[in-house]
Each structure stands twice: as structure tokens, then as C-alpha cells.
Amino acid sequence: MPCIISRPARNLRPSRFMKILVLGSGGREHALVWKLQQSPRVRALFCAPGNAGTAQLATNVPIKITDHQKLVEFAKREAIDLTVVGPDDALAAGIVDLFQTNGLRIFGPTQNAARLESSKVFAKEFMERHGIPTARSGSFSDSSAAQLFCRNARYPLVVKADGLALGKGVIIARNSWESGLAIHEIMDARKFGDAGSRVLIEEFLEGEECSIHALVDGRGYLLFPGAQDHKRAFDGDQGPNTGGMGTFSPPSKLLTPELEARVRSEVLDPFIAGLSRSDGHRRWPQGAGV
């Protein structure tokens, strides 16, 4: 997930001890709160809206993640030094832009930058434009054109809702009947709402997957340890894609020094070069999936 590191707000107190607000209510936010509360620089920690796990480590705030204006008001009232955003939907809706407009320091991508995560078509076009290896594909805003494309395709193939669908908008189709059903459910029945206004149809790439995340400042990057997750339900990868069935790090013997070197030269280096030419978005923590 690409995230822009926003500029420090002018009214940020030069204090060694910080008040931090984490936005979200899932396991990801629980992990963020768990790690942040270990820092000796944190003097107060809030989570909105939070969950039972975050309540043991921070002060939960009963404000919905969709109520951006109330979150801004809370951050101002409590003199929050830094807000950390978890959910993709909030980033795509422009919460970072709103906080920045109000002079508040926040960690996450602007609405424009978040399109690399919120639109699979936008991300695909970015990769193709900057020579980053990616599966061959077609994008469609008309379901009939998408169905026609699939009639002459090689199977299996992958049908993806363009927008955010909680990790469930990716369907692996083994034949034309399954691809037709996937297109109908996504585009005509709008199973995932507006996320299905367009679809991306890709060739199926078989193999193990690992994820590599990097903090990027526009000139260089710092890699995090690799990780490997399990997306499909049921044993033997027989079920549909999910938001994640579990993950572990490091990714066994999959991420060799040779593969990491290829990721650097073939993915991250051209990615940074592409960012340097893109609308001034220069400082990003970025997740690359291999």
C-alpha cells in the first residue's frame, strides 16, 4: 500500500512526547497500536473507533472512520501530534488531504496518491507506463466488452474489480462460464458496489507469492523484512480470495538474495523513477507484491 509521508504541520509541538491517534477498527490497527505503545516517546495513544484489543492498549474513541470532520475536530481538540491511518477506504476518500488542509500531521497517502491502491486499473497503467513487470491484461467499463474479451482468452484468468473490495474483489476463473459469472456479479449485479464499475482482466500467473514493503522518500528506500500471506480460503487454495487467511515472516526460503536483487532493480527502482515524474508525490512507504 503506497503511503505519502505528509509534511510536518506548522503547529506541531517540538515535544519529545507525542499524542498519537490511530484510525481504524481491525487487526491491523490493533497491531499498530500494540507497536506504537511500546515507544517511550508516546505519552497518549487513541484509536478511533478501535476494538476490544485496542481498548487494552489505548483509549478508544467512538467516532466512525467515515466521519472525517469529527475526526479532525477530535485531533484538534486533543492536540494530536500524529495521526496514523489504517483503512484503505478512508485513504481513498481523502482523509489525509482533509487533515493536511487543517494543519494536522498525518501518515498516509493523499487521495490522488492512494489511487495506486484504490484503483487496480490506475496501478496497472502506472506499471506499464514505467516498465514494471506485470501480467498482461485488459480493462473494461462495459460488461459486454469484458465478456467478449474472455471468449478468446486462455484460462485460467483473473477477473478483478477495479476498486476496493476488502480483499474479495479478485476471482480466479477456470473457464468462460466462471469468467462470465464473475463479470456479471462485479459489473452488472454490483456485488462490490461502485468498486465494480470497471474490471481488470489479467492472465493467471501461477506460483508462490511474497510481499516486500519499503519506506520510500523519492530518492531511495529502506526495505522491511519480506512476508508471505495466504489469500484463498480452504485447504489447498481451493476457495475464493479473502482479505487474508494468515501471514508469516520471513517468507521461508522463497525470498533469496538473488530474488531480492531482482525486485530492487526491476520493481522498486523503476517505481521510484515513476514517482519522481508523478505530480510531486515524492515520499512514499510502498508495498510491492511479488
| Model confidence pLDDT, tens digit, residues 233-251 | 777 777 777 766 678 888 8
Give the span between the Cα atoms of 201 and 161, in whole angstroms.
Answer: 9
Supply the pLDDT for residue 194: 92
Supply the pLDDT for residue 249: 84
**Residue 178's CB: how many other CB atoms inside 10 A?**
17
What angle, 0 to 180 degrees and rounded to 10, lies between the N-to-C axes of helices 176-183 and 143-151? 170
Q: What are phi and psi of 5, to 5 degrees?
A: -90, 105
Supply the pLDDT for residue 243: 65
Mean pLDDT of the chain: 86
Supply the pLDDT for residue 12: 47
Of 119, 116, 121, 151, residue with least CA distance to 137? 121
The more confidently predicted of residues 215 and 125 is 125
Supply the pLDDT for residue 254: 82
Confidence of residue 9 (pLDDT cuts 50, 70, 90): very low
Are 245 and 233 in contact, with CB atoms under 8 Å apart?
yes
The more confidently predicted of residues 110 and 176 is 176
Give the span between the Cα atoms of 22 and 16, in whole angstroms.
Answer: 19
Of 204, 23, 45, residue with least CA distance to 106? 23
Give the span between the Cα atoms of 65 and 49, in whole angstroms.
Answer: 7
**C-alpha angle 47-49-53 in degrees, rounded to nearest 5:** 65
pTM: 0.82
**Residue 170's CB: how many other CB atoms inside 10 A?**
19
